[in-house]
A = this chain, B = another copy of it.
Amino acid sequence: MRPPDTKQRLLDAAEQLFALRGFHATSLRAITQAAEVNLAAVNYHFGSKEALLDAVMARSLGPLNQVRSGRLDEVERDAAAENRAPDLRALWRAFVEPTLSMRRHETGAEHFLSLVGQALAQPHGAVMEVFMRQMTPMFLRLFELTCLALPEMPRQLLFWRMHFAVGSLSHLMRCNDQSPVLPAGITAEIDVDTLTDMLLDYTLAGLEAPR
């Protein structure tokens, strides 16, 4: 009647409750009750409540970055095959699209995005360190490939412009479920592909802007 092991059950219950009601608003007792395990199991398997959040986040972030990494491989391979610089739009599409299309394919995507937002806002959160350790190689690789695609642009300038681009994406991730401010005559509902193209148009124009 309760086949999966305790660790998995805790991860599943925690992911849902953390995202739904927030990290601090969720008690360990609520999680262990939902998972139908003992209260002390959390500290036995993970060590602390925050370490449980770490594990939940790492479980989703790993596969996502694996997809991104594979798509960056493709872009690099295409460029090498035709002996040219990598295509800027293909590059950023490889980075952006897996995240945005999570909502379509994965279940609990909004849970994951909500968790990332919460984790990154903590000042001394060990969670942010986990996130950064996972994301840093991806950022560095994307930066170097962007420099190759825009060889005329100073690296220092591109660094900051990439910072702006990442900000646009992360803000979009954070606000994608709850509608932000809606001016009159504007609807927030939009197709994922259209949204991806709009973000790419915006980002590429900013990256390539004259000084």
Interface residues of A (CB under 8 A from B): 19-22, 24-25, 114, 117-118, 120-125, 132, 135-136, 139-140, 143-144, 155-157, 159-161, 163-172, 174-175, 180-181, 183, 185-187, 190, 195, 198-199, 201-211
Contact = CB atoms under 8 A, between A and B. Distances in A.
Give me the 9 closest cross-chain CB pairs, A-B, nearest first.
A167-B171, A205-B209, A121-B121, A164-B168, A202-B206, A167-B168, A206-B206, A139-B181, A117-B121
Contacts of A171: 163-164, 166-168, 170-171
Given A201-B209, A205-B205, A209-B205, A172 B163 contact: yes
A73 B42 CA distance: 55
Contact of A123 (B19, B155, B165, B201): B19
B181 A132 contact: yes
Contacts of A195: 160
Contacts of A185: 155
A186 B158 CA distance: 10
A195 B190 CA distance: 32
Given A164-B168, A171-B164, A198-B157, A143 B203 contact: no
Contacts of A117: 120-121
A24 B24 CA distance: 7
Contacts of A180: 132, 139, 163
Contacts of A211: 201
Contacts of A168: 164-165, 167-168, 171
A171 B165 CA distance: 9
Contacts of A198: 157, 160-161
8 contacts: A25-B123, A114-B123, A117-B121, A121-B121, A161-B198, A167-B169, A167-B172, A205-B205
Contacts of A203: 164, 206
| Residue from A155, A170, A181 having most chain B Cβ neighbours under 10 A | A181
A175 B156 contact: no
A199 B206 CA distance: 9
